[in-house]
Structure 1
Amino acid sequence: MHELMTAESVAEQLAVTVKTLAKWRHFGTGPRYIKLGGNGRCNAVRYRRSDIEEWIDAQAVSTRWLEEHAVRHDR
């Protein structure tokens, strides 16, 4: 069984606000999430710990990549 986390616990782990998580959900830029419940407006949002860990790993940026794709301001 997957370990499910609340938005509050994910926000704390990522050092962001719950409101930021809601914005990320709206724009589709944050970690994957699950909506529990029916079609009503009170669906509970939960996150799988494994999805959070995968999302964090996907945020890693290689320094080498940055150097190769850096915008040159001295031109």
Structure 2
Amino acid sequence: MKQIVLNVPDSEYRFFMKVIKNFPLVEVDEKKTKLLELEAKLTPSNHNIWEGIKEGLKEVELIEQGKMGAKSANEFLNEL
């Protein structure tokens, strides 16, 4: 299945989602949709914090997959 990204004006979003969900060939990722809605409501400072958290989680995944080396506690503390 292919994925597409659409930019829809805020004022038309609810209507668009109602319409698109009625197509049998379209699968809407409800979790991702909800996450994007919540991210859009974040203040700029909270958005920066959230981006840092997401980046950290991606690094954890890479470490668990063996694609990235883990840092020791001392290395981590020295960065602060």
If the length of structure 2 is used for normalisation, what is the TM-score? Answer: 0.29
Structure having the higher Rg: 2
The structure richer in helix per residue is 2
Q: Which has the higher contact order (CA 8 A, sep 6+)?
A: 1
